[in-house]
């Protein structure tokens, strides 16, 4: 289908088709840019790219999410701050590859997607990773996945201008089916952690509130800056250097309540990642629910990045018998995850839909998601 769409848009046939998934983060929110711990897994939802190289240095980009318009660029002209809309993500990848010394020329690329955009499920990273993987394969670059993820992060931060951490790109590039990916940002260490929800009789629901977040503006950057200021006040390089058992002493040394809230969230959130890891390793998946809900409370009350719709999902799901729930992604809208026993999942989903209707919110999009494969070549 994606290959056919490529033919319809560009004429000739693509050289191949690649896929990269969106992600949810099980736990570890707003920790990545603090050198902390995260635990995402890949969604079954992917962005597909059909790609053919060109020899004339032209980069032609088309997405079924932006039908009609083909964005035409010249690779030699790519530079940060051009402002080509959605095309900044893939052209930023081409720019980052070339900046890293790879001789990547022009290409025709058509994208199809089942990753909701702006829903906190990392469509931006999926778009970058599928582009980097395809171009890397076609040019024989043999990029290690963590290196590929870092290139994509540079594209997002430096070219598209969104100051996000490395989690999203790493999840899309490095996850495998049936596993969550434990990533320690400080040293880059990765571990795939078995997370077979179905075998445990569980289901994880993703609830897209359809409140669009926007990472390139304001609040996300402000939290980031607040964390950096907190680290500076404590005389550490990043908040990762504050151990959980040193939290009380650290809070005493901070100048104001705002700083204390930010630091408390980051330090306790790293702790919650460790707790969830220990539970997964011990085969006690059921018990992670309470940790997820505690994480939500911290994001809502201390870090203050939730919103009424996300809080409604979490409260309603828990009242309806879920094991736990939390917002996932940067916040200010986007999606929540709900962990429920499989036999209760439909009831929980209905309760959330009903609560949104009663509150006068747009109907949420709810789907079940098992940990799925990372980026790959399809043909």
Tokens 């569980």 sit on residue: 202
3-state secondary structure of 209: coil
How far is residue 213 CA from its own chain's centroid? 13
- Rounded-to-integer distance, Cα 357 and Cα 366, Å: 14
- Does 118 bind ligand ADP (CB under 6 A)? Our answer is yes
Q: Is position 187 annotated as part of the catalytic site? A: no
- Does 114 bind ligand ADP (CB under 6 A)? Our answer is no
- Rounded-to-integer distance, Cα 51 and Cα 61, Å: 10
- Does 123 bind ligand ADP (CB under 6 A)? Our answer is yes
Query: Which contiguous run of DSSP H or E holds residue 154?
Result: helix 145-154
- Rounded-to-integer distance, Cα 260 and Cα 367, Å: 36
Q: Give me 48's structure tokens.
A: 């597909």
- Least distance from Mg ion to the Cβ atom of residue 84, Å: 17
Interaction pattern, residues 203-242, with ligand ADP; x per rule: CB under 6 A: ------------x---------------------------
Residue 110 and residue 63 in contact, taking contact as beta carbons nearer than 8 Å: yes
Tokens 């490095």 sit on residue: 174
- Does 292 bind ligand ADP (CB under 6 A)? Our answer is no
- Least distance from Mg ion to the Cβ atom of residue 243, Å: 30
- Least distance from ligand ADP to the Cβ atom of residue 117, Å: 4
Q: Give me 349's structure tokens.
A: 């989903």
Query: Which range binds ligand ADP by CB under 6 A, 59-67, 172-180, 247-255, 340-348?
Result: 59-67
Residue 210 and residue 352 in contact, taking contact as beta carbons nearer than 8 Å: no
Residue closer to ligand ADP, measured from CB, 204 or 291: 204
From candidates 46, 124, 170, 209, binder to ligand ADP by CB under 6 A: 124
Interaction pattern, residues 304-333, with ligand ADP; x per rule: CB under 6 A: -------------------------x----
- Rounded-to-integer distance, Cα 143 and Cα 278, Å: 32
Q: Give me 332's structure tokens.
A: 């200010």
Annotated catalytic residue within 168, 301, 302, 354: 168
- Least distance from ligand ADP to the Cβ atom of residue 125, Å: 6
What DSSP state is assigned to residue 305? -
Cβ-based neighbour number of residue 252 at 10 Å: 8
- Does 119 bind ligand ADP (CB under 6 A)? Our answer is yes
- Does 121 bind ligand ADP (CB under 6 A)? Our answer is yes
- Rounded-to-integer distance, Cα 223 and Cα 227, Å: 6
Could you say which of ligand ADP, Mg ion, none residue 324 binds, taking C-beta under 5 to 8 angstroms by partner kind? Answer: none
- Does 43 bind ligand ADP (CB under 6 A)? Our answer is no
- Does 65 bind ligand ADP (CB under 6 A)? Our answer is yes
From candidates 120, 136, 165, 295, binder to ligand ADP by CB under 6 A: 120
Query: Which range binds ligand ADP by CB under 6 A, 63-71, 190-198, 309-317, 367-375?
Result: 63-71
How far is residue 312 CA from its own chain's centroid? 22
Comparing C-alpha atoms, which of 79, 177, 94, 178 is closest to residue 139?
A: 94
Residue closer to Mg ion, measured from CB, 43 or 322: 43
- Rounded-to-integer distance, Cα 209 and Cα 43, Å: 17
From candidates 15, 58, 66, 137, binder to ligand ADP by CB under 6 A: 66
From candidates 86, 95, 220, 332, binder to ligand ADP by CB under 6 A: 86
* Footprint on this chain of ligand ADP (rule: CB under 6 A): 47, 63, 65-66, 86, 89, 111, 113, 117-124, 127, 162, 215, 329
Active site residues per annotation = 168
């Amino acid at each position: 289908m994606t290959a056919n769409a490529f033919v319809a848009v560009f004429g000739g046939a693509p050289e191949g088709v690649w896929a990269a998934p969106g992600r949810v983060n099980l736990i570890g929110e707003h920790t990545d840019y603090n050198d902390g711990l995260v635990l995402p897994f890949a969604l079954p939802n992917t962005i597909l790219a059909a790609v053919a190289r060109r020899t004339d240095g032209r980069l032609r980009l088309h997405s079924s999410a932006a039908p009609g318009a083909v964005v035409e660029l010249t690779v030699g002209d790519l530079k940060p701050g051009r402002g080509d809309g959605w095309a900044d993500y893939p052209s930023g990848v081409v720019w980052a590859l070339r900046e890293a010394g790879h001789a990547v020329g022009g290409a025709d690329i058509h994208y199809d997607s089942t990753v909701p955009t702006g829903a906190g499920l990392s469509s931006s990273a999926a778009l970058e990773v599928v582009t980097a993987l395809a171009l890397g394969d076609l040019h024989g670059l043999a990029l290690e996945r963590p290196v590929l993820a870092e290139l994509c992060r540079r594209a997002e931060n430096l070219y598209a201008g969104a100051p996000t951490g490395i989690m999203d790109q790493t999840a899309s590039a490095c996850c495998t089916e049936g596993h969550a990916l434990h990533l320690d940002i400080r040293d880059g260490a990765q571990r795939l952690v078995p997370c077979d929800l179905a075998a445990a009789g569980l289901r994880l629901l993703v609830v897209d509130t359809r409140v669009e977040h926007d990472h390139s503006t304001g609040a996300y950057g402000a939290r980031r800056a607040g964390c950096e200021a907190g680290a500076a006040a404590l005389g550490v390089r990043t908040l990762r250097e504050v151990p959980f058992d040193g939290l009380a002493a650290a809070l005493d040394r901070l100048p104001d309540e705002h700083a204390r809230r930010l630091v408390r969230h980051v330090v306790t959130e790293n702790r919650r990642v460790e707790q969830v890891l220990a539970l997964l390793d011990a085969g006690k998946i059921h018990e992670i629910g309470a940790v997820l809900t505690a994480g939500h409370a911290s994001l809502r009350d201390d870090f203050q990045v939730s919103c009424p719709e996300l809080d409604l999902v979490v409260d309603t799901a828990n009242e309806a018998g879920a094991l736990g729930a939390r917002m996932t992604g940067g916040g200010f809208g986007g999606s929540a995850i709900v962990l429920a026993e499989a036999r209760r999942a439909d009831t929980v989903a209905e309760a959330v839909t009903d609560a949104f209707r009663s509150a006068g919110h747009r109907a949420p999009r709810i789907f079940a998601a098992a940990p799925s494969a990372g980026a790959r070549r399809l043909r």
